[in-house]
Amino acid sequence: MAERDIRINVNVNPSEPSDEAAVETARADADLTKLATDLEDLRQTLLRRQADFDNYRKRIERERAEDAKRHTARVVEAMIPIVDGFENALAAHREAAEYENYRRGFELIYKQLLDNLAKLGVERTEPVGKPFDPHMHQAMDRTETSEYPDGTILQVFQPGYMFHGRVLRPAMVRVAVHPTAASKGAVN
């Protein structure tokens, strides 16, 4: 038998990966990319949820503040006739000397009531000399006059009240009507 010269070319170079190692590396890279994508998606979802929660919290706070204003407005509306009663009682006994101490006590209570209403955001409207606004005033009477421009408020029968920019009660007023406007039937 003759000896054969068999040479086996085995590449055992550690710097060149085998096919199995390359497949494993590719899988690991794909898994890593998928995990990074999933992580970014979760991060974006978390940010959206946080923003949604902040918006929800702000909306709830705004609604609570509006509810508190509505409830306060109801209480204030119920107190306005009490203010009117104080004003009528004080006007009735202005000249009587025997009621002086009594009147001072009423004036003090009346002032405290008005101060507390003002702290809550209630404003009393003083429209005399201003133009008539049907959103803020209720015309109870018209007077023909050439002294004042047409539509000017001449007298207040009952004061109006505002609460945070909203009319609680319109002022009941007397409005000036120019004689030429009155003859034409114009109403402001």
State the burial class of residue 137 (Cβ atoms within 10 Å of its Cβ: 0-12, 13-18, 19+).
Answer: buried
pTM of the model: 0.63
Residue 13 falls inside a structural domain: no
Distance CA 165, CA 71 (A): 15
**Taking 80 as the threshold, does the pLDDT of residue 5 lie above it?**
no
Whether 11 is covered by a domain: the verdict is no
Residues 144 and 76 in one domain: no
Residue 158's pLDDT is 93
SS3 state of residue 146: coil
Q: Are 112 and 82 in contact (CB under 8 A)?
A: no
* Chain-centroid distance, C-alpha 21: 66
How many domains does the chain contain in total? Answer: 2
Residues 85 and 112 in one domain: yes
Name residues whose C-beta falls within 8 Å of residue 142's C-beta, 6 or more positions apart in sequence: 174, 175, 176, 177, 182, 187
Q: Which of 81, 103, 120 is the last residue of a domain?
A: 120
**Full residue range of the structural domain in which residue 138 is found:** 123-188
- Residue among 86, 157, 89, 78 at smallest CA distance from 120: 78
Residue where a domain stops, chosen among 83, 105, 120:
120
In whole angstroms, give the CA distance from residue 175 to residue 151. Answer: 6
- pLDDT per position as a tens digit, 48-101: 999 999 999 999 999 999 999 999 999 999 999 999 988 888 887 777 777 788
Q: Distance between CA atoms of 52 and 50, rounded to whole angstroms?
A: 5
Query: Do 131 and 57 share a domain, yes or no?
Result: no
The yes-or-no verdict on residue 125 having pLDDT over 70 is yes
